[in-house]
Structure formats: C-alpha cells, structure tokens
Structure 1
Amino acid sequence: MPEPSKEEIEARAYQLWEQAGIPVGREKEFWNLAEQELRNEDKSSPVRTPDTL
C-alpha cells in the first residue's frame, strides 16, 4: 500500500479532531495521529507501533 495521500490524512485528522471536541491549536497533533493511523493500516509499514503487531 502506498503512503496515505494528503487528502486521506486531512479527512482522518478532521474526524479525530471533531471526536476530540474540536480543540484549538492542536491541528498538527491530529495530523500526525491520522498519518500514523493510516500508515498502520498497511501491515508492511516500517512505522508500525508494537501494539499493532
């Protein structure tokens, strides 16, 4: 699976941000979380965390 697209990351980050109650000033945090989450969907990604194995 290729790297997640900017649009995919943006959409997921927005979902996470809304679920968290739309906190101000944490956009980068939600972007990074969304990017990591999407990468973890691909089990061949080297960026996996131990809890996703």
Structure 2
Amino acid sequence: MQHNCLRANTILNANAKLVEAHSKLPIVHKWGGGQVASADGLLDRLDEAIEVMRRW
C-alpha cells in the first residue's frame, strides 16, 4: 500500500501546506522575513540549509 508510505513528495507537499498556514498568522510577520531560523540558541541561514537539502 504505497499510498500510506512516507515519500519525499508527500513530506514536501505537507510541509508546504504547513508553511503556508503558518505564514498567515499575524505574529509571524513580527519575527522577520523567514531567512534565519533559531533553535536551541543556534542560528541557521535557511537559504543555505535548503540548498543542502536539495542536494541530498
């Protein structure tokens, strides 16, 4: 049953929907333009991370 498996295109589509919904929240625009992410005190440039993921 392939339709129940996690595939790259399924994850990408689901992530795109989450990002779109998140971007509609008013508070999100106060956090900046989305070019930098922070987790556990570490800052990462998202454009660089996305490029690495595309090569993977």
Normalised to the residue count of structure 2, the TM-score between the two structures is 0.35
Higher share of residues assigned strand: 2
CA radius of gyration, larger in: 2
Normalised to the residue count of structure 1, the TM-score between the two structures is 0.37
